[in-house]
Chains A and B, each alone.
Chain A
Amino acid sequence: MNSVNRRVFLQSLAAAGSASILTVPAARAASTAKARVVVVGGGFGGAAAAKYIKLMDPAIDVTLVEPNATYTACPLSNEVISGHRTLESLQTRYGGLTARGINIVQRWVTAVDPVKKVVTLTGGATLSYDALIMAPGVDFTWGAVEGYTSEVSAEIPHAYKAGPQTLLLKQQVEAMKDGEVCIIAPPPKPFRCPPGPYERAAQIAHYLKHHGKGKSKILILDPNDSFSKQGLFTQAWKALYPGMIEWVPGKDDGKVVKIDPKTRTCYTTFGEHKGTVVNIIPAHKAGKIARDAGLANAQGWCEVQPMTMESTVHKDIYPVGDCCIAGELPVYDMPKSAHMAVTQAKVAAGAIIAKLHGLPNPEPFYVNTCYSLAAPDYGFSVVHVYKVEDNKFIYVKTAGGISPIQAAPITRKLESEYANGWFNNIMADAFV
């Protein structure tokens, strides 16, 4: 192809683009002026879905149901514990979405009728929908660790939903004396933010090391036998906090089965460990409203169709974000991350617009980038790329993966900066 032909070809590509479903012509948009989309939950997935639906077709009536006026993001919240970030730096309100013409209803959904396509709100009001985005995030399974209840979490934090729990853990870590022990008990897979507990260990170690408490220890009692970015974390722990972090896998009796909150003692099957600070992160499952709506499988997660993110259970309901499960467990499932949630939301948004307009579904494309900070200037990442083949989520093994273990030293510094830049952009991409 000579350069003139190439230019013509690319122009035709661009011309086709202008008539795409993602920029719906006014006449077509008007035909669905009454189309209604309800979004349940204003986290990354829900907010991004609402925004992109409105962006692609402003004529659609989009309502986001979210009980809180302020959202506190979880990514980088471990930096609050070490004192390198404020909780406020993780917070946003919903004014950006309001400005786009999205209705924000500050309530919660008590029931979903997938046949009549109606949701009931707290107080009894109802909303009809043509398509529903289900993005309630996760709930914890209280009692999975015997003795660990919602009430106990007021003393022994999980700190796995950013907010007051994060600050509680921070205060407790700050009160530690040199030589004392902090126990972190991660949940069994799958859980949101797979590298979260291990990044947390590094951030707590960073605080302790730089506050004259370098003889202290962080003991990770893990029900799992491997974890996200394991080689990178192990390398970083050794380089930055030698001797401070110990990880006990499930196969070596790492699984905490019971806790005595009074003595802060964690019991494993054969042993017991006492911590000055104990951080129990309970097992996860899809948020209650998703389970109540019948969307969850026996393990408590919402399964979805790869081409559209539509539920495999109910038509016109699209679970996105941490509540859904997609891809092959235990290694190649889609991680429960903000990035993944926003990507899924965009696929769902495209599918909903296509369906409402009777147009072909756009080819879905799923990517994830997840940065972890072992210190303020020491970051690394994992990348996932998924394609859909034969109506299955396929993890593209020739792409993605973790940052190289052997890398030019500048790499860790660069990725620590990328983590911060990523955060600003993902917040804007979902909420502004």
Chain B
Amino acid sequence: MKKAIGRASALMLCLMAGAMVAPALAADSIVALANTCNNCHGLKGVSVGASMPSIGGQSESYLRTVMLEWKNGTRYSATMGRLLKGYSDEQIVALAKYFAAQPWVPAEQRAPDQVVFNGRLVSDRCTTCHGERGGRPSDDQTPRLNGQWALYLEMEMNKYRDEEVKLPHRKMRKNAQKLEPAEVYEVSNFMAVQKGQ
């Protein structure tokens, strides 16, 4: 129920934002704007730093929601909230659209076979929503995980495991907290090395 409300309000925000897009926000400026994200997230959203997520080809709806939540402070972030407070909702909507339209490029990374094997054994906590190999999310508010950086995935799950950190998704917190620390590492690596969906 709570999730449904969250989705409805996100949709409202998005619709309002769509209606408010000013003519000044020219399409060429959207690419220029998106280029400011490349510093940390890579050209076309393909990150080459293990703690920074790739965002190119991620779900538009997911990207838009997390950016708006960071901006309005309902989702914890170490850095992103301070950045996004400088972007208008229209710019955030446009950025989500731009990065979602880029191809998803799995990160070049490896993990020991045993780690990946162990990770698969506990991955059923993730696959219901994110898909069997993390690449077929059940809805557009759920991010894909296949080929995402393992370190980033591990760091995100550690946020959900930390009670001091304010995050909106209770189901995610519940599942992350049921994993042992070693399993967090293993399942992150399992998802990270998946190239297909």
Q: CB-CB contacts of B51-95 with A at 8 A, as 1s and 0s?
A: 110000000000000000000000010110011111100000010
* Complexed CA–CA distance, A422 and B162 (Å): 23
| CB <8 Å contact, A20 and B52 | no
| CB <8 Å contact, A23 and B83 | no
B75 smallest CB distance to A (angstroms): 13
> A385 contacts which chain B residues (CB < 8 A)?
83, 85-87
Is B179 on the interface with A (CB-CB < 8 A)?
Answer: no
Is A99 on the interface with B (CB-CB < 8 A)?
Answer: no
Is B106 on the interface with A (CB-CB < 8 A)?
Answer: no
Q: CB-CB contacts of A46-83 with B at 8 A, as 1s and 0s?
A: 00000010000000000000000000000000000000
With contacts A362-B32, A400-B82 taken as known, whether A421 is within 8 angstroms of B18 at the C-beta atoms is: no
| CB <8 Å contact, B49 and A421 | yes
With contacts A415-B79, A425-B52 taken as known, whether A364 is within 8 angstroms of B27 at the C-beta atoms is: no
Q: Which of A362, A366, A369, A428 is within 8 Å of B29, CB to CB?
A: A362
With contacts A13-B97, A421-B51 taken as known, whether A410 is within 8 angstroms of B39 at the C-beta atoms is: no
* Complexed CA–CA distance, A399 and B83 (Å): 6
* Complexed CA–CA distance, A387 and B76 (Å): 25
| CB <8 Å contact, A421 and B35 | no
User: Which applies to chain B's interface (DSSP): helix, strand, loop or mixed?
Assistant: helix
| CB <8 Å contact, A424 and B27 | no
A84 smallest CB distance to B (angstroms): 16
Is A241 on the interface with B (CB-CB < 8 A)?
Answer: no
> A398 contacts which chain B residues (CB < 8 A)?
85-86
A208 smallest CB distance to B (angstroms): 28
Which of B15, B19, B51, B85 has the most C-beta atoms of chain A within 10 angstroms of its own C-beta?
B51
A312 smallest CB distance to B (angstroms): 22
With contacts A346-B36, A385-B83, A417-B155 taken as known, whether A425 is within 8 angstroms of B49 at the C-beta atoms is: yes
With contacts A17-B27, A363-B26, A367-B86 taken as known, whether A421 is within 8 angstroms of B47 at the C-beta atoms is: yes
With contacts A408-B164, A425-B41 taken as known, whether A383 is within 8 angstroms of B83 at the C-beta atoms is: yes
| CB <8 Å contact, B164 and A421 | no
Is B10 on the interface with A (CB-CB < 8 A)?
Answer: no
Is B115 on the interface with A (CB-CB < 8 A)?
Answer: no
Is B50 on the interface with A (CB-CB < 8 A)?
Answer: yes
> B38 contacts which chain A residues (CB < 8 A)?
425, 429
* Complexed CA–CA distance, A403 and B159 (Å): 17
Is A423 on the interface with B (CB-CB < 8 A)?
Answer: yes
| CB <8 Å contact, A1 and B18 | yes
> B78 contacts which chain A residues (CB < 8 A)?
381, 403, 407, 411, 414-415, 418
> B25 contacts which chain A residues (CB < 8 A)?
363
Q: Which residue of A lies closest to B162 (CB)?
A: A410
- 7 A-B residue pairs with Cβ-Cβ distance under 8 Å, sorted by A, are A363-B32, A365-B32, A367-B83, A400-B83, A401-B82, A411-B78, A421-B47
